[in-house]
Structure 1
Amino acid sequence: MSEIRGLLFDKDGTLFDFQATWGGWASDLMLELGEGDEAVAEHLARRIHLNRAERQFAPESVVIAGTVDDAVMALLPGLPHLDYGKLFAWIVEASERISPAPAVPLLPLMERFRAEGIVLGVATNDAESAARVQLETIGALGIFDFVVGADSGFGAKPEPGQCLAFCEAVGLRPEQVAMIGDSTHDLHAGKAAGMVPVAVLTGPAKHEDLAPFASAVLPDIGHLPRWLAGS
């Protein structure tokens, strides 16, 4: 895979282990939004297919591959005293306080890629500001040449806008870039842009869900160097 000169990563479920990063955070947030009322928290959790007892999302949750807008629209009917703008801002602000759980030791891996001359980017359906704060929290923001979110003006995955924006920003052709993600949204976006779609299994989706749309399915991003070497 020596022709690959850029790696564009999804964030949640790819750079970060999805359940370990977001399951507990979301469980606590439902109680916060419900103002301490367990019944309200449980109702909100059901709306986004979140098991608060296990602190995990079901694979069909809109939160997994969706945007903040998708999460707001799912939760808003259960919070009639809030309007869209207030709930959106609440979720984004809360997400900036998260402590991400990297799927693998992230900094050494990314530094290895950079030493090999590979251009790195992040394309997420989260808000760009939240993504930047979360990456900065683990000291990784400066490693990436480009970070784009669903609110950055390039659309959201599965549309290819974020992927094409990365190529334009860093001067690579789509076929020189691998789009790495844990959901079909990521893979469809990469494929539509002309990139090489690569799946990882650090999100809720299973191998059989991702394999039909991926050039390769890897356990996690730590297996990328071997894949890039053509093994």
Structure 2
Amino acid sequence: MWFSPNTDLFSDQAHLLNMLPKDGVLNDYGRVMAVDEADSHFNELMMAAAWQPDSALLNGELVRTVREVAWYADRPFRYVHSGIERQAIRWQGSSLLRLKRRMEELTGQRYNSCLLNLYHNASQGIGWHADVEASEPNDVIASLSLGAARKFALKHKATGELRELTLEHGQVIVMRGETQRHWLHSLLKTKQSVGSRISLTFRCFPEQWRA
């Protein structure tokens, strides 16, 4: 069961507070599904997603991460990130397609791709970055968290100002407007003992990156 903050998605989202003080928009939709449904999606994606280690070229050497990724899209998009060409695979799996449709209903946006990240434990995270390599200006990026609660942080590129929030099982946040131009974001590592987490990042991929 999904809990939408409103039925009129295009006109009635003004109640969603902007979590950023300037130069962008971050809306926190909170937990949008019941625990048993979130559990079901988490378990299916853990088993069925095409997980593989992320990779990058560092000083000419191929480095693979413990964190795993899977990238799905309407078409086999390609782009180069960290010296490595990435290629999407077409949507598959009933859970992922249901989540895509639900995210579109919830946020009033259309998405043609989804990047999944699997963090096996609290020692795995992702450093400060902005999603600019394959972004259009004023891109809308929606993120759904499944699994263990983890701390998500944002840092203003010019001032260093910080914002943090804990993302829980079934929670959705949306970054809009100038956010990627002015803010970096990170999933912070922790020494606490927590379980696995999956993030699903939905966006509309730019035309110039289509294969």
TM-score for both structures, normalised by structure 1: 0.27
- Which structure shows the higher strand fraction? 2
Q: Give TM-score scaled by structure 2 length.
A: 0.29
Larger radius of gyration: 1
